[in-house]
Structure 1
């Protein structure tokens, strides 16, 4: 057993000390910190001076309510009425003296309309504010012509949401569904990228050692199954270390803005009320998915003799991962259809799709338990046959880059 830990720790320490691990982790952490503080970074390059807007009011009545509405919506706007002709204002905009100018006029019904002029409409972020101001001005003018009180209009235009009540016992509320959807969305990406990145790393690790003929020494001192799982667990520790650093720095970067993020996302990323069962399932299916694909990647990596052939060998496995991810993502808003239910029991899809179901629906425990049992059974079978493939595969040299070599590897494993 001591040899198992030697291989495990060697795999773990060699990976976390490697330049690739340090560089990729460092760059990812910097990206997380940069993205989480993107608004602050962008504000450094935004001028603090108020936007200067000139308005030509051809109607003679709409300027004042338009100005009040605009400056209420965005206090950084400075709006002044101008009697200059459009050509003069256009020159001032092009010279940088003005940010934009607006021409207000009346339509056939006596309601306001306007045209916005700026050097570049694409870069004029405040144009949307002026649109809203013009709309409010039109509503005010229209209600005045119709003799309707502004308070009555405000009541009619106030947003209303239909309350949603689930009749099924123990069904999730709308708020719980929103939070579950956010957690499922995040974890689907974590499972997807972790499996692709770290399972490929295991296959590459095996192929690298095999290419250097280290395997011939290793298999004489430790059993194939111990060696295989030592590498799987070693890379698992590497992945958990990297994920912990990313999540830790990400949390530190946004912890002071969690309420703001929660409000902006409509409660999707407010995980405080997420049920413990959903979090437990999240951890269980993440670990089971990792070990399922890691075991598969280990013995696929043992079949190749050249590092260049690793990607070709594991490509079918990656297609399966992508298929499971796409099924889960496309059914994030419809997790209770028959297709999702059936695929949630297919072991190579279950880590993502069953987690989608338990996160979004009130799935009976026996259904989730059955999927977990199927996953565990599949991992055991992969470990059993994988060890036999691994034992023979590490002794195979030459051109071996197709799945038909599995039979040959099992045969060689029996003879040794």
Structure 2
């Protein structure tokens, strides 16, 4: 048993000390901090706080002042300046940077406001959107005047329709809770997807490296292949949990320090339930063990590191399919496809999490999903141990799934 813990600790410590682990952990932590403070970061580079000058040629002689008033209400970062200059003169000043662009105010044949904005480029949608809103408001005011509507009637006209949503099911989530859940699920799905792929490949690569360097021949003489497999799985699993704890701690501290008026504060991410975090952690652990067991047996079938990716392709495709189904489930969690695939063990870690987070499903369905996933881990653990035991003894070109049969036969002979 001492050898088991020695291999486990070595798998953990050796990977923990690598530059790749340290850089990845720090990089993701920085990304989490940056994402939580994105609003403040954008504010440093946002041109909305800077004055943008736009020249205006009012061909009607009456539209400039009311248009300016409406523009100030919807886009206060835009400054319009009326001018009598010709278009050729304005083109020159736009090129020199005096103005961002110039606007032609006119009227249609029906006497309604219309405008044309000209600039070096029109890629800044915030400028054109502000002008369009101001022009629309001006048109609404003029049409209301023609219809002799009072200010109260205009307010009623422009007021949005009242619309509420109420969930009838007992324990169903509110709209605010659903928004919080979708954001968390979206982030955690990406984490589960990339981390499972990364750690599964790490296990398969480590086994292949040991075989190619003939270290495996020394190891199996002192420690059984089955103990080796589970020691590596647990060691790298602890490595993944270490990263998970670090990233969750960084996310918690960063989100907790966000002001109430910030985007994070307005979304209510500070009040995410502990149960959701626990479900995410549990499903990550179980998903890791399922895919890590399969990755270890696949890695034992190859003798060269170059063959690992080819052998891991089917497993990677399974994870990708589960991820894309989960993305679909974010917008339609009640779909029969989501319900059925949440009980397929390869997809359960991601898709069951979508259903738990967005729906109020019975406890027995959650228990069934976890039960199927745990049963699959045990089944693949037994099968994987047998294949791993024979696979580590196989050398030469061995990068086909057909070699599993040969590995099982070898495990029986030893």
Q: TM-score, normalised on structure 1?
A: 0.91
> Aligned runs of 1:211-222 on 2, under 5 Å?
211-222=212-223
- Aligned mates of 2:45, 2:320 — CA distance in 1: 39
Alignment partner, residue 111 of structure 2: 110
- Aligned mates of 1:45, 1:195 — CA distance in 2: 36
Establish whether residue 201 from structure 1 lines up as the match of residue 199 from structure 2.
no
Distance change in 2, residues 1:259/1:44 (3 Å) = closer
Alignment partner, residue 336 of structure 1: 334
Alignment partner, residue 312 of structure 1: 310
- Aligned mates of 1:167, 1:134 — CA distance in 2: 43
| Partner SS state of residue 81, structure 2 | strand
What does the per-residue CA deviation read over 1:45-101, in whole Å, with 9 as the maximum and x for residues that have no partner?
566752122111111211112112223333333222111222211211112111111
Distance change in 2, residues 1:161/1:292 (3 Å) = farther
Alignment partner, residue 261 of structure 1: 263
- Aligned mates of 1:354, 1:368 — CA distance in 2: 8
Alignment partner, residue 295 of structure 1: 293
- Structure 1 window deviating more from structure 2 (344-353 vs 290-299): it is 344-353
Distance change in 2, residues 1:275/1:43 (3 Å) = closer
| Partner SS state of residue 345, structure 1 | coil
Q: Contact 2:36–2:264 (CA<8 Å) still a contact in 1?
A: no
Alignment partner, residue 70 of structure 2: 69
Alignment partner, residue 7 of structure 1: 7
- Structure 1 window deviating more from structure 2 (95-104 vs 301-310): it is 95-104
- Structure 1 window deviating more from structure 2 (220-229 vs 310-319): it is 220-229
| Partner SS state of residue 142, structure 1 | helix
Out of 270, 282, 295, the position equivalent to 2:280 is 282
- Aligned mates of 2:269, 2:126 — CA distance in 1: 32
- Aligned mates of 1:408, 1:64 — CA distance in 2: 85
Deviation at 1:309, TM superposition (A): 0.7
What does the per-residue CA deviation read over 1:356-379, in whole Å, with 9 as the maximum and x for residues that have no partner?
222222211111111211111111
| Partner SS state of residue 126, structure 1 | helix
Alignment partner, residue 397 of structure 1: 395
- Aligned mates of 1:258, 1:218 — CA distance in 2: 56
Deviation at 1:232, TM superposition (A): 1.0
Alignment partner, residue 19 of structure 1: 19
Q: TM-score, normalised on structure 2?
A: 0.92
Establish whether residue 225 from structure 1 lines up as the match of residue 226 from structure 2.
yes
Unaligned runs of 5+ in 2: none
Q: Contact 1:4–1:226 (CA<8 Å) still a contact in 2?
A: yes
- Aligned mates of 2:143, 2:111 — CA distance in 1: 9
Alignment partner, residue 129 of structure 1: 130
What does the per-residue CA deviation read over 1:15-54, in whole Å, with 9 as the maximum and x for residues that have no partner?
1211222333344444445555555555555667521221
| Partner SS state of residue 360, structure 2 | coil
Alignment partner, residue 60 of structure 1: 61
> Aligned runs of 1:98-247 on 2, under 5 Å?
98-123=99-124, 125-247=126-248
| Partner SS state of residue 220, structure 1 | helix
Distance change in 2, residues 1:49/1:190 (3 Å) = closer
Distance change in 2, residues 1:138/1:309 (3 Å) = same
- Aligned mates of 1:331, 1:278 — CA distance in 2: 17
Distance change in 2, residues 1:299/1:288 (3 Å) = same
Deviation at 1:199, TM superposition (A): 0.7
- Aligned mates of 1:369, 1:245 — CA distance in 2: 28
Distance change in 2, residues 1:39/1:143 (3 Å) = same
Distance change in 2, residues 1:43/1:263 (3 Å) = closer
What does the per-residue CA deviation read over 1:272-297, in whole Å, with 9 as the maximum and x for residues that have no partner?
44444433322221211111101111
Q: Contact 1:140–1:150 (CA<8 Å) still a contact in 2?
A: no
Alignment partner, residue 413 of structure 2: 415
Unaligned runs of 5+ in 1: none
- Structure 1 window deviating more from structure 2 (288-297 vs 55-64): it is 55-64
> Number of paired residues?
412
- Aligned mates of 1:96, 1:340 — CA distance in 2: 55
Alignment partner, residue 385 of structure 2: 387
Deviation at 1:169, TM superposition (A): 2.3
Deviation at 1:120, TM superposition (A): 1.1
- Aligned mates of 1:183, 1:68 — CA distance in 2: 42
Alignment partner, residue 269 of structure 2: 271
Deviation at 1:331, TM superposition (A): 2.6
- Structure 1 window deviating more from structure 2 (190-199 vs 252-261): it is 252-261
| Partner SS state of residue 55, structure 2 | strand
Distance change in 2, residues 1:277/1:125 (3 Å) = closer
- Aligned mates of 2:29, 2:168 — CA distance in 1: 44
- Aligned mates of 1:28, 1:262 — CA distance in 2: 18
Q: Contact 2:188–2:280 (CA<8 Å) still a contact in 1?
A: yes
- Aligned mates of 1:388, 1:288 — CA distance in 2: 21
| Partner SS state of residue 106, structure 2 | strand
